[in-house]
Structure 1
């Protein structure tokens, strides 16, 4: 099993800057990529998403441990864990046996971003929703709203994936995600204030298993667009 995981990580890292093999990963990086390996394999083998893994040699003060960027038509899953003492703060308080589940959900979230990008619909509304022009003074609020919508979609992908792969653990993952997305100040949604979407999926029964994974998320996402602040 370990050999298979190492091989999977090696294949995923072939196009990664500065790394020749999974053997050069740190223990933390290996643990995160191992936890997310099923999602990454699905993204590359089943969806053929243009995704590469990049490991930052030194994290900056503002870096989150896991993020997704876009460059030259490809998605870049970026790990910023080296020199980042707070890399695993988001997992604080969780039982050790639950941490791989939450990491897997985070990786699925980022794959949700990549899918939107690959479909050419990044920051675009689905059919039937109008995106009105904004005055210059409202541009910042609109940019925040666009980001929040994408985060809402990606959170629903993470939950749909969890229901598909780990239905017995859905409640724990959903509760943790609601906790993470709880706004620091009451009444402020912020760029990652996705509760309008998370509240639509209190249990795995919210997702239709007859639909493809991303359509499961998209169906609820459209409902959430009507509820966002």
Structure 2
């Protein structure tokens, strides 16, 4: 147990390299980063993705607890939990024992965004697909497409690392992504319905390729 704690703290220090020490993190921030540590370690150590972790000193009313941006060639994983009483509302209906699993899936989702940014294909659709919309409608579709891709990365990650928990994660994501005024541009059921079970992700393919194969299929239904 002591060895595991030391490894976790060391990984948090490595991941939160922009902070002076892990002691600066709140309990909520530590819990979320610990839950997502395997994803972040994979992204930074194996994929060499340029990821920085930023902790907002004070969340704004419109901030989501976890988000990803891109600046100066680097991905910015932003935690907006301080002063945000609703930071963990998204987990309200999740049993306590499963919450780390859902947080891990959310972090994998954000890494999907980072991958798209780094590859230079953000808001780019594959050859042969047309935008089919203009103005605000086009902007909404662009966001939905990126969210759909990132959701599939989260599911592909879950199938690779926690296949026995796939049904729980996929069911929770479908619940969160149900079409509603709150979901808006984050309604991704066109893609989630393509992966009802882990069998949708054939073994042997890289994580992002697994997601991309299903994502391209979903593009046929989002115009």
Normalising by the smaller structure, the TM-score range is over 0.9
Alignment partner, residue 222 of structure 1? 216
Q: Which runs of 5+ in 1 are unaligned?
A: none
* Structure 1 residue 116: Cα displacement: 0.3
Does the aligned pair in 1 maintain the 2:131–2:138 contact within 8 Å?
A: no
Q: Normalization by structure 1: what TM-score? A: 0.93
Which residues of structure 2 form unaligned runs of 5+?
none
Counterpart position of 2:21: 21
Match of 1:165 among 161, 185, 188: 161
1:119 aligns with 2:119: yes
Q: Which residue of 2 aligns with 1:9?
A: 12
CA contact (8 A) 2:159 2:166 kept: yes
Once residues 12 and 210 of structure 1 are traced to their aligned partners in structure 2, the CA distance between those partners, rounded to angstroms, is: 28
* Structure 1 counterpart SS, 2:185: coil
Following TM superposition, where does structure 1 have runs of at least 4 consecutive aligned residues deviating by more than 4 angstroms?
Answer: none
Indicate which of 146, 152, 175 corresponds to 1:150.
Answer: 146
Distance 1:203 1:53 in 2: 32
Q: Does 1:108 align with 2:108?
A: yes
Q: Residues of 1 paired with 2:108 and 2:12: CA distance?
A: 16
Structure 1 position 127, deviation (Å): 2.5
Question: How big is the alpha-carbon RMSD for the aligned residues of Structure 1 and Structure 2?
Answer: 1.3
Q: In the comparison of the two structures, how many residue pairs are matched?
A: 220
Provide the TM-score with structure 2 as the length reference: 0.96
Q: Distance in 1 between matches of 2:185 and 2:84?
A: 23
Corresponding residue number in structure 1 for 2:87: 87
Map of 1:198 onto structure 2:
192
